[in-house]
Amino acid sequence: MDFPEDFSAFKRLIDLAYPIGLNTPVYPGDPAITIYKQATIEKSGYALSQWDVNFHTGTHMDAPSHFISDGASISALGPSLWMGKALVIPCAGKKTIGMDCINIETIRADVDFLLFKTSWEYQYGTPAYFSNHPTFSDELGQWLAASPFKGIGMDMPSPDQAPYPIHQLILGAGMVLIENLRNLDQLPENKLFQLICIPLPIEAEAVWVRPLAVLPLL
């Protein structure tokens, strides 16, 4: 990832993550978020909290081990995977996202991440968000799995529904999936920008992330 010596040339940072708290929607069937106050400033002079929440809540990254039995966990993936050149793929209004959304001419060999902008983020917080979101076609999933990307992101909870064939294709290819993104409408379409998406090195199949799009000044 090539940054200029003067990083101030890139002053526009777009936060692509949802905040996580008691009101964060969870996938149907998953337990609600619980926060235990183990210590408070009033009683102990300091605050200490324990959270009960799974790693697939809110904006998060899936590692191959989420669906592949011998796949890498988050902590086993190399740091070069956490940043690179990204491209937004506009596909709003489609129930099935297929190859018709892909403009091959705009996808250069140095693209690391494709972020699919479905505008489904505007359903966030509604029951439809999890149950009726768009899905990727098998053809698109196969094309993505055969491509040399580091990861695929989207502004919806999943690229598929049970039994999750797209998860298996993409994660089986060694990529990561970044789900529940937001603010993709603030990013340029069909124009490269830098994406930084660094997870904690947790030995798990997924983890929360805070992706940042790094854009040049207007």
20-72, pLDDT tens digit by residue?
999 999 999 999 999 999 999 999 999 999 999 999 999 999 999 999 999 99
State how far the Cα of 102 lies from the Cα of 114, in Å rounded to an integer: 10
Question: What angle (nearest 5°) sits at the alpha carbon of residue 153, between those of residues 159 and 205?
Answer: 80
Per residue in 66-125, pLDDT (tens digit) is 999 999 999 999 999 999 999 999 999 999 999 999 988 888 888 999 999 999 999 999
Rounded to two decimals, the pTM is 0.93
Q: Is 154 helix (H, G, I), strand (E, B) or coil?
A: strand
Residue-averaged pLDDT of the chain: 93
Instruction: Please check whether residue 100 is in contact with residue 143, taking contact to mean a CB–CB distance below 8 angstroms.
Output: no
Residue 7 confidence (pLDDT) above 70: no
